[in-house]
Amino acid sequence: MSDKPRVLIVGGGYGGATVARRLGDAVDVTLISHDNFLLSTPMLAEVAAGYLDPRHIVTPLRDLCPHATVIQGRVDAVDVDAVSVTVEGPFGAGNRTFSGDVLVVALGAVPADFGIEGVAEHAIDFKTISDALAIRNQVLAALEGTAVSDDPRLTRTVVVGAGYSGAELAAALSDFVHEAAETYFGSSVVPEVILVDAVDRVTPALSERLSAAAAAQLAERRVEMRLGKKVASVDAGGLTLEDGGRIDASTVVWAAGVRPNPLIETLGLPTERGRLVTDGRMKVSDTVFALGDVAAVPDGSGAVSPPTAQFAVRQGRYLGDNLPKILMGETVPRFRYRTLGELVSLGHHNAVGRVLRVPVSGLPAWFLWRTYYLLQVPSLFRRARIAFDWTLDVIFPPDIAWIPTSSERLRP
């Protein structure tokens, strides 16, 4: 058995996978994650709209972190005193407990439904690769349904949540359904994509000017915006607004927000808005470190790091480089990072945002978005495949093949 410190990392997303990769073989690393891949979430909207192949935006953890012992499974319980976790393996493989000298918590966030009736049962979340595939399938199945029914719901898709991910999804879906309808379904099929939010502007994290630019671009993409409207409930036929308004739709996507992984509440450690409180070196206690969406990590300028991939990756690099030194008792500088900016991709050849505090929009912003996020994909092989998908998308009409999962199969 190795005498290196044993580091147990839970969560193989941007934070956890980056720490594991960066630690290399300096310590003995076990990386436990529900999925056996790192998902490039900024590209999820393009998978939902069928422009990217789902396999191209995921990178297997075994490939990414060759020095780590990778365990695919669901962490069911965490014992912070014993520095151990209980994991349920895939395919009923059974449970096993893993222990280490230090635990790194990087379990990410989960969708938040704010207790709104019917969201869990009738809306599709927008967080995982299966969510993206489910959205694409449902929207396509509804379009196919127009051949046998005049039900107006079939052509209507609602995205709830006009933050970055909801706005990106609405724009990408709108491009997709309009192109698909025009190419394959005839002029009688007129799709509608409706973006709903309780806040009265889109992408509210951006300045008012950029938010207005984003709204103009969404309108150009034929996205209808219902802003300043709170959702009261979701049902099988659409949703009802708090003001009594009703939107009948075949598909409701819930992109209205996330909250820290609920497992965090079971750890018995201090939290701030559900995120683990860490010091400037991501330390929660003597044996627990945390980063990413589950952790309130000081950003070095007096604020708490926002829950973004940009920060999770930077934190992952910091912890991967410094954890071995911290474990040796060395003093290392605190984590410090200032955002490079924000970019929201809004359909074909459009984006808005700020880069190094300079506002950008339109084609240059879209080009920057694609270049930045392509370079963030940690596999050359997958970068090449994504670039190829994007090229084919310019040349060919949208791919409307409906690829059902076993539960979606039409009955014989």
Q: Is 317 in the site for ligand FAD (CB under 6 A)?
A: no
Q: Which amino acid is at 321?
A: D
Backbone angles phi, psi at 384, to 5 degrees: -65, -40
Give the one residue of 6, 20, 29, 33 binding ligand FAD; rule: CB under 6 A.
33
Cα(68)–Cα(129) distance, integer angstroms: 24
Least separation in angstroms between residue 395's CB and ligand FAD is: 26
Ranges within 158-217 binding ligand FAD (CB under 6 A) = 164-165
Structure tokens at 297: 């990590």
The residue count of the chain comes to 412
Cα(114)–Cα(288) distance, integer angstroms: 29
328 burial type by CB count under 10 A (0-12 exposed, 13-18 middle, 19+ buried): exposed
Give the one residue of 6, 7, 9, 16 binding ligand FAD; rule: CB under 6 A.
16
By beta-carbon proximity to ligand FAD, the closer residue of 172 and 181 is 172
Structure tokens at 248: 């009948």
Ranges within 109-128 binding ligand FAD (CB under 6 A) = 126-127
Cα(20)–Cα(15) distance, integer angstroms: 9
Least separation in angstroms between residue 74's CB and ligand FAD is: 4
Nearest CA-CA partner of 138 in 407, 383, 412: 407
Stretch that binds ligand FAD, among 39-47, 146-154, 209-217, 355-363 (CB under 6 A): 39-47
Q: Is 54 in the site for ligand FAD (CB under 6 A)?
A: no
Cα(272)–Cα(149) distance, integer angstroms: 50
Stretch that binds ligand FAD, among 204-212, 218-226, 306-314, 356-364 (CB under 6 A): 306-314
By beta-carbon proximity to ligand FAD, the closer residue of 42 and 298 is 42
Give the one residue of 44, 162, 225, 239 binding ligand FAD; rule: CB under 6 A.
44
Q: Are 193 and 49 in contact (CB under 8 A)?
A: no
Least separation in angstroms between residue 405's CB and ligand FAD is: 18
- Sites of contact with ligand FAD (CB under 6 A): 10-16, 32-35, 41-42, 44, 74-75, 106-108, 126-127, 164-165, 261, 263, 292-294, 307-310, 312
